[in-house]
Amino acid sequence: MSGKVDRIQDEALRGSFADAQAALKAGDYRKVVELSSAAYVELLRRKPEMLQGQQQFMNVIFFPRLGAHLVLNNDGQPEIVWDREKFSFSEAVTYFEFAVDRLIKAGL
């Protein structure tokens, strides 16, 4: 997975994913989901065009819904809603891979 993480341009976001990888190896799956979700929310904040028109639907509805999901608050800003506290390895990897792929695609 580190090969993909190295392709993230933004140093802070790349560091966040390095922390998420360490949490994955340590079995702290909640932290992986938190860090990955926060990075995706940061992407949406930096690129507000991703929340316009059809893009909004695609970028919100395709976010994983495996215990934490993405909503737009009353101000139209993205935020994560937590449905539960514990996550499995496969769920954590799903959030991680989703966020990494989207950041790379967006050029961050």
**Domain coordinates in residue numbering, the chain:** 2-106
pTM beyond cutoff 0.85? yes
CB 30 within 8 A of CB 88: no
Asked if pLDDT for residue 95 goes beyond 80, the answer is yes
Other CB atoms within 10 A of residue 30 CB = 17
The secondary structure of residue 71, as a DSSP letter, is E
Alpha carbon separation from 16 to 6, 47, 51, 55, 85 (Å, rounded): 12, 18, 23, 25, 20
pLDDT tens by residue, 41-81: 999 999 999 988 888 888 888 999 999 999 999 998 999 99
Q: What is the CA radius of gyration of the chain?
A: 13
Q: Which contiguous run of DSSP H or E holds residue 81?
A: strand 78-82
Q: Look at residue 30 in the predicted model and tell me its pLDDT.
A: 98
User: Is the per-residue pLDDT at 1 higher than 70?
Assistant: no
